[in-house]
């Protein structure tokens, strides 16, 4: 029996792995319903590679993904599996797939998830298609990742509220946003909220320039300043930056806010739902067309396929023109 695209693929699995991101449920929904449309049997794998290892796998139908597109998190849950790092763990996971006849996998996650998929596929010849689900937007081969837009909007809404109280009290606020080793959330939310300084891992932090700028504004009695810091920034985050500012400018009223995991939760934006639906659909189409070990990305609003190993080795770069824009707009 062949599927609607003429291939012999009959059964696929879908899992979410690594950090959760808003929009993962929309991607799961797209994978399941696209698979069913093509006559495939679709299996959900709970808690990522941990569920594959522990045989926590179940058959999904259209009702399994009803009323989930608007929900944050992931109905398949996610976990990190130490056993999957070892050959014995991957062998056990393969045997659990084999007994159900699962012939292909859609992996919704980030770089660590894709590394695991690449190694597993090479060992057992199971085609894996990656769907970039990460708020960090740190994958090569795509200009968007599932969850980034929601995380940025969450950060912007929070920083807008912080700016209200900052203006009322003439304070220096240092706000830390997530992003691990990538500064995209800090860059986008900082520009969108009019931050005077944005500190990201991709550029060297000139703390002296920041202190000089704050000193000049203190002389002009302008003590209202917003500094947005990515958690992976070289100083070690907002608290460390605040220590330096307080030491050098003892008159300044410096406050720190760490936004933390609120950026990973919440109902996904329209953009993230569209991106996730688009990528989930093309992930299944890729398996049906015989593609193997690629990540589904979007470049210039068109679907783009990148080998998994390239997607995790090459980070999406932040252009220096963005930092020039930040400097000019904050002047």
Active-site positions read 136
Q: Is 290 annotated as a binding residue?
A: no
196 is in an annotated binding site: yes
Query: Is residue 248 marked as binding?
Result: no
* 246 is annotated as contributing to ligand binding: no
Q: How far apart are CA 71 and CA 68, in angstroms?
A: 5
Q: Is 288 annotated as a binding residue?
A: no
CA distance 182 to 231: 9
29 marked ligand binding residue: yes
Task: Please choose, from the candidates 42, 72, 40, the residue with its C-alpha nearest in 3D space to the C-alpha of residue 57.
Answer: 42
SS3 for 172? strand
Q: Are strands 302-307 and 294-299 parallel, antiparallel or unpaired?
A: antiparallel
Q: Per the annotation, does 33 bind a ligand?
A: yes
Is 178 labelled as part of a ligand binding site?
yes
106 labeled part of a ligand binding site: no
Cα–Cα–Cα angle for 131, 134, 137, nearest 5°?
A: 100
Q: Is 13 annotated as a binding residue?
A: no
State whether the Cα torsion 78-232-272-111 is positive or negative. negative
Gyration radius from the chain CA atoms: 22
Q: Is 100 annotated as a binding residue?
A: no
Please, is 59 exposed, middle or buried when counting C-beta atoms within 10 Å of its C-beta (0-12, 13-18, 19+)? exposed
- Among the listed residues 125, 47, 124, 130, the one whose alpha carbon sits nearest the alpha carbon of residue 83: 47
20 is in an annotated binding site: no
Residue spans of alpha helices (H) in 109-183: 111-124, 148-169
Q: Is 32 annotated as a binding residue?
A: yes
Binding-site residues = 19, 29-33, 80-81, 110-113, 134-136, 163, 171, 178-180, 194-196, 220, 222-224, 231, 255, 261-264
Binding-site residues for Mg(2+) = 111
Binding-site residues for substrate = 134-136, 171, 178-180, 231, 255, 261-264
Binding-site residues for ADP = 29-33, 163, 194-196, 220, 222-224
């Amino acid at each position: 029996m062949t599927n609607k695209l003429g291939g012999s693929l009959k059964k696929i699995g879908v899992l979410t792995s690594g950090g959760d991101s808003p929009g993962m449920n929309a991607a799961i929904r797209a994978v399941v319903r696209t698979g069913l449309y093509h006559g495939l049997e679709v299996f959900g794998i709970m808690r990522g590679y941990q569920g594959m290892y522990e045989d926590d796998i179940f058959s999904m139908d259209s009702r399994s993904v009803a009323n989930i597109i608007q929900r944050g998190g992931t109905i398949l849950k996610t976990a990190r599996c130490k056993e999957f790092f070892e050959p014995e763990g991957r062998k056990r996971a393969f045997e659990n797939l084999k007994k159900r006849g699962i012939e292909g996998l859609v992996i919704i996650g980030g770089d660590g998830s894709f590394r695991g998929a690449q190694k597993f596929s090479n060992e057992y010849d199971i085609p894996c298609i990656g769907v970039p689900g990460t708020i960090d937007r740190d994958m090569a081969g795509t200009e968007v990742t599932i969850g980034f837009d929601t995380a940025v909007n969450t950060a912007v809404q929070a920083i807008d509220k912080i700016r209200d109280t900052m203006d009322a009290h003439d304070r220096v606020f240092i706000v830390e946003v997530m992003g691990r080793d990538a500064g995209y959330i800090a860059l986008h939310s900082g520009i969108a909220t009019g931050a005077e300084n944005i500190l990201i891992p991709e550029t060297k932090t000139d703390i002296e320039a920041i202190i000089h700028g704050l000193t000049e504004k203190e002389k002009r009695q302008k003590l209202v300043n917003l500094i947005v810091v990515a958690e992976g920034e070289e100083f070690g985050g907002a608290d460390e930056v605040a220590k330096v500012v307080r030491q050098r400018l003892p008159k300044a009223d410096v406050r720190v806010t760490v936004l933390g995991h609120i950026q990973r939760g919440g109902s996904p934006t329209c953009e993230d739902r569209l991106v996730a639906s688009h990528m989930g659909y093309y992930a299944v189409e890729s398996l049906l067309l015989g593609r193997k070990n690629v990540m589904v990305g979007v470049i210039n609003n068109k679907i783009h396929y990148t080998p998994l190993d390239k997607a995790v080795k090459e980070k999406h770069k932040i252009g220096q023109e963005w930092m020039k824009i930040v400097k000019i707009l904050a002047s």
